[in-house]
Each structure stands twice: as C-alpha cells, then as structure tokens.
Amino acid sequence: MGPPKQTSSVTPLRAMSCAVSFAAFGGLLLSQAAFAQSALSQQAGATTNRAAASQDYRATNNAAAAGFDNETDDSATPAASGTAANADDAQQRPAIPDAQSGDDITGSILDDDIRRLNTREARVDETLQRRGAVESASTAETPGIPIGTFVLRPSVTQSINTETTKDGKTRQQRAFLETDAAATLTSDWSRHQLTVTSEGAWQKNVSGEGEEQPSFKVNGDLRLDLSRDTVAHLTGGYNFYREDTDDPDAIAGATQQSDVQEFSAGASIQRDFGILRGTTALALTRSVYSDATLASGATVNLSDRNQTTGTLRGRVGYELSPALIPFIEATIGRTLYDETRDSAGYERSGHSYGAKAGVEIDLGEKLKGEVGVGYAMADFEDSRLSSIDTATLDASLLWSPIRGTDVNLGLQTSIQPSTTAGESGYVSHALTTTVTHQLRDNLVGTMIGGVTWRDYPSDSSINDELVYTTATGLTWNINRYLDLTSTLGYELTARKDGPDSQQWRAGVGLKLKR
C-alpha cells in the first residue's frame, strides 16, 4: 500500500556551522598552547576535531529515521500488512531520488513487471539518493524552474522501441513510440517541507501488434517538523496502470487487460526518546478496476475486485549507535471488497497480520539499509479460502564498493491474494539487484537483475512460477539539459504447468530536462 526528507531538527546548515565552530575553537587552543606543549596541543586539537566530526555525523544520521517495506498491482490486498503497509516509513528518510538523476533508464523501455520489480523493496532505493546517481548528476544537474517558494524540475523522454513477446507458440512483435514525463516539485521553506513527484508513460504502436501499456502516478509528502524530536508526515497519491497479460489474475484471451486506479493516503508520526525511536503510521489504499476487453469485442466486468485496505503499523528502534539500530515492528490490516461476494461467489474480504525484527545499518558512504526477519499471515471471510502464512525475510541494502559504483540489493517476502475461483493466493519471494556505474563523467551504465518465486500453497490447483528479469542500459549526458538513453531488457516467466512466457525489449531515446 502503499510508496522524505530530512527529519532531524538539526539542519545541514546548523550541523555545518557547528563543525566549523569546533574546528575554529580547536585551532585557537592549538595556537595558544603551541609555545609550551606542541605535541600535547596537537593531540587536543585532533581530539576536538574528532568530537566535532562525531557530533556532525550523529546529527546527519539522526535525520534518517526507522522504516523500510512492497509486485505493485496487488498493493491493496490483505498482504499489505507485511509490505505496502510500511510504505509510509519512506517518509522518515532524509532524501528523495531526483527525477533528473538518470536512474530511470528502465522507465521508457521495459514493461510494468520489469519496471515494478523494485517498487516493493524496502526504503533505501525509495528514499536515499543513490551515490552513483548523485555523482553522475554533477554534470547534468539542472537549475529547475522557480515557482514562488517552490522549485519545479521537469523532464520528458521520447524513445522508439521494439518488443517481441512469446507465450507458448504465440508470438507477437511490435514497434512503438513512448513518451515519458516526470516532474518533482519541492518547497523551499525554512521549516516543514512539501514534495510532489509525478511520472507517466504513453505508448503508441507504429507497427506490429501488442498491447500498449500506459501508466501515470503522482505522490505528495508534507513533512511537519513538530518539535526537535518529533516529525509527522501526511501523504497522498494516485497510481494508474494497465494490468499485465502475464499477471496471475489477468483475463485469459483478453486483447486489453483491466485499467487499474489506486488512490492512497497516509499519516505517520515519529519521535525520538533518547536512545529509543518510535514510529506509528496509518495507511489507506483504494483500488478500482475497469472492464477487460476480449478479442470478440465483449467485455468482462471486474468491479468485484474493487477494494479498500487500511493498515496500522508500529515500530520501535533502539539506537546502539548512529550506525546500528535494532528494531521490532508489528502491523495489522483490514481489506474490504465493495461486493460481499465476487463473481465466483467467494467472500474475499479479510484481515492481515505481520511482525518482524531486524536492524537498520548506516555505515556512511559505504553501506546503508536494513535487514529483518518475521512472520506474515492473511485470512479471508470465506471458509472455503484457506489462510496463507509464511516466514518473511526482507532486506534492502545500498552498497558502494568503489567511488562511482552503486549496488542496490533488495529481498522481499509478501502474501499476494488471488481473484481466481477457489484460490487464496500465493507467497511472493522477490530478489532484485541494481548496479549503477559511472563509466565516465558524462556516461552512466546500469544493470538490473531479479527473480520472483510465486509460491502457491500445497493444496492449490496452480503450480509455482518463477519470473526472471534482466536489463542493461546506458545514459549519456550530452549536456545539462539533454541525455541520450539506450536500454535492452529480457523477462522470462517459467511455469511448471502451461507454456512459458518471454519478452524482449530494446530502445533508444532522448531525455530533455530543466
């Protein structure tokens, strides 16, 4: 269910001033003692500098609050307690990835499954700007457009792409144009902050046949600095996408799958109690499905999928050090479908529960993220639908082995309820890796790899599936306002029962930014 800025009352400017003051004071002590005890004064000065650096480090790390946890098209389901429910934890982090940074090389090329592989990963890739992206943006940073007390940074990418899809013995090819637009609107206030991000994609086939995949989403986050140790967030969002043909709940034989609209709202509050850190959050998601269109022209009404989900989450962390914060977390959720029974006669409303324990890690420039283990369960009002429970292992790590290289590793376990008659759902185990490397000052290479295991219960009539995804791309920064992008991607859905599905995509594009 669900999707961030600095949360500490110690601003970067204040932290910098503190560090400068300590350095000046250390220098004064050093000069006064130089005539008498040169060696001793040098040691004192070094100690003072270390203290200043430590205080500045703590001020910076206190800004990064607890919270990391979400396949996107299922976010408004009972499974959300272990995944989407934690989306508002992203609001507790100090930075938002810039739409200009060049991280979106998959956005205009790969289909929804490939693009959404990372969306349910824990918070590092959603809230902490990738170091590789920051460095590569040094020559491509744009000034933005001032609008009152806000700064708008828009971008538009126009690409031409080719796609080949093979499902069993059926093979389709198409060439299409895609226009991607993105924008970030950020306030420039002395206190509090409002950030609005949006992105969308529009496709137009120019040859061949295949389903076009439009999408659009917008998210807003209002950060309220209530006191030195208390920060609140109010969030809202809208997400539109078309369900993919290889989704487990897709309509077989449909020429156009359902259009899905998701509305989200949330509120969270975080407070530091010395070495303890507490977070409480409430999240709401509303999902609406349109009709699917068959080859005959007939439509299939999917309004029985419309649902509303609410999730309450609490987390408590203990600060062993600014770099190591163990935590425990619990979630509870409730899903209500608009129709008491779906078209097959099943009552799919239900509850979800989750708990986990883990540790947040912040080792500065080299390693950030969190790892957690726990348990999740979803049950349903219809007695014919068996409950689903699973042990969970979640991780999100951002590692920079060398300067200019960024490795983002994500592991996510979640429960995904089904709309297939007689089926409760499945457990999704997703592993994703993104490697970004700055080849030159104006050239960035990106590689993405992922595997998702859809693990159905032993009493299910559906066999397990494995989804493999890989992609690679290059972004050439021609100047600060123009990029040249290229991407090549592949996806394989392997099924024990039924034919496998494969998809290849390649494309090149130009990105204009301001």
Domain residue ranges of the chain, discontinuous segments joined by +:
12-54, 64-210+231-242+261-513
pLDDT value for 255: 87
Chain segment 234-279, per-residue pLDDT in tens: 999 999 999 988 788 888 888 889 999 999 999 999 999 989 999 9
Using one digit for the tens of pLDDT, what is the confidence trace for 296-353?
889 999 999 999 999 999 999 999 998 999 999 999 999 999 999 998 899 999 999 9
User: CA quadruple 84, 7, 318, 408: dihedral positive or negative?
Assistant: positive
The yes-or-no verdict on residue 428 having pLDDT over 50 is yes
pLDDT given for residue 248 in this prediction: 85
Mean pLDDT score across all residues of the chain: 79
Q: Is 505 helix (H, G, I), strand (E, B) or coil?
A: strand
Give residue 476's pLDDT band: very low, low, confident or very high (50, 70, 90): very high
Sign of CA dihedral 234, 240, 245, 250: positive
More confident residue, 63 or 224: 224
Q: DSSP string of 388-419?
A: EEEEEEEEEEEE-SSTTEEEEEEEEEEEEE--
Residue count of the chain, please give it. 514
Q: How many whole angstroms separate alpha carbon 165 and alpha carbon 167?
A: 7
Taking the C-alpha atoms of residue 3 and residue 233, their distance in angstroms, rounded to an integer, is: 13
Q: What percent of the chain has pLDDT over 90?
A: 61
Residue of 128 and 481 predicted with greater confidence: 481
For residue 514, the tally of other CB atoms under 10 A from its CB is: 15
Beta carbons of 320 and 355 less than 8 angstroms apart:
no
Tokens of residue 123, six digits: 């918070």
Q: 197 is written with which tokens? A: 């991000």
398: exposed, middle or buried (C-beta count within 10 Å: 0-12, 13-18, 19+)? buried
Question: SS3 string of 87-133?
Answer: HHHHHHCCCCCCCCCCCCCCCCCCCHHHHHHHCCCCCHHHHCCCHHH
Per-residue pLDDT, 448: 97
So what's the pLDDT on residue 141?
64
Q: Which long-range contacts (CB under 8 A, 24 or more apart) does 363-366 make?
A: 363/323, 364/57, 364/323, 365/131, 365/400, 366/399, 366/400, 366/401
Q: Bridge-partner residues for 264, per DSSP?
A: 237, 285
Q: What is the CATH number of domain 64-210+231-242+261-513?
A: 2.40.170
For the entire predicted model, the pTM comes to 0.73
Per-residue pLDDT tens for 74-130? 433 444 333 333 434 433 433 333 333 434 444 434 454 444 333 333 333 234 333
Give the integer Cα–Cα distance in Å for 417 and 336.
Answer: 13
pLDDT tens for 407-423 read 999 999 999 999 888 89
**Binning pLDDT at 50, 70 and 90, where does residue 372 land?**
very high
Q: What is the pLDDT of residues 398-410, one digit of tens each?
A: 999 998 999 999 9
